[in-house]
Amino acid sequence: MHCVNLKVVTHFNTRSWPSRLVVDSDAAGTRRQWLNCNSNYKHQNVRLVKIVACSTSENLNPVSGSGQGQNSVLSRTQTYALLKQQLDVAAKSEDYKEAARLRDSLKIFEEEEPVLRLKRLLKEAIAEEKFEDAARYRDELKEIAPHSLLKCSSDATTLGIRVQVRSVYIEGRSQPSKGLFFFAYRIRITNNSDRPVQLLRRHWIITDANGKTENVWGIGVVGEQPVILPNTGFEYSSACPLSTPSGRMEGDYEMKHIDKVGARTFNVAIAPFSLSTFGDGSDAF
């Protein structure tokens, strides 16, 4: 047992993360609070900054699988992120002895974490063309963690409007002991059509690990109803609290073409993506 102070650094193409809360109301009058992570946006040339979420020091065991209760979720998530970060640093600095040690620690950790172990086995089975085994691992994953087969990103295009999403777990705003898991997500909307559009409304379908689903509707995004010209984009960040360590989000935007009076509105899909405390091993959009 030892103490560490973990600093998790995640790159988002956002300009700021103010703590302004936005309240959405659904058709039944249910109110849901959201953190408006970035009300300042640019249509192009978005500046790159870092989001840093720091936790307090606590006892962690990188290879122990005996942690119980929601408190252990935070510790194991921190440990996993720290091991991966240290492995990357060791490999880039060509400290291969340390990299090998960290690799082995990660393998031990993954063996004792069912979702991570099954995802690794699934990946290996596919690579080795052992498809019967792959099907079995996939079914086991669906049973114990229905959302784990989704990536923490998605990409969909509707009528030339492309929507890309990337989610990340924010340790510093989460309180696992109180059943609060905080996820941020970044969205990039690109107009690849030849007509200008305006984003009017948003609709989210949020599902937690227990299968509880919530629909959230709202006007525009981050307090705006942006106009997106052809061959330009709009980017913003927001966040979603969950009561479970994983879940999924999907939805759509209601838009309209503004180059013709009386044009009908149309829906642009936001493809499903995962919310996961362990991420999916990729930082790419």
Contact yes or no for 8/81 (Cβ under 8 A): yes
Contact yes or no for 273/282 (Cβ under 8 A): no
pTM above 0.85, yes or no: no
How many Å separate Cα 175 from the centre of its chain?
A: 17
- Tokens 């503004």, residue located: 258
- Tokens 């720091």, residue located: 54
Is residue 2, in this structure, part of any structural domain at all?
no
Crossing angle of helices 131-144 and 114-127, rounded to 10°: 160
39 shares its domain with 59: no
- Domain's final residue, options 96, 121, 144: 144
Q: What is the mean pLDDT of residues 203-219?
A: 94
H-run or E-run covering 213:
strand 213-219
Say if residue 52's pLDDT is above 80: no
Is residue 179, in this structure, part of any structural domain at all?
yes
pLDDT band for position 234 (50/70/90)? very high
Q: What is the mean pLDDT of residues 158-163?
A: 97
Tell me how far apart the terminal alpha carbons of the chain are, to the nearest angstrom. 36
Is residue 248, in this structure, part of any structural domain at all?
yes
Mean pLDDT for the chain overall? 75
pLDDT band for position 150 (50/70/90)? confident
Is residue 155, in this structure, part of any structural domain at all?
yes
Check residue 138 and give its pLDDT: 84
Check residue 37 and give its pLDDT: 41
Check residue 284 and give its pLDDT: 55
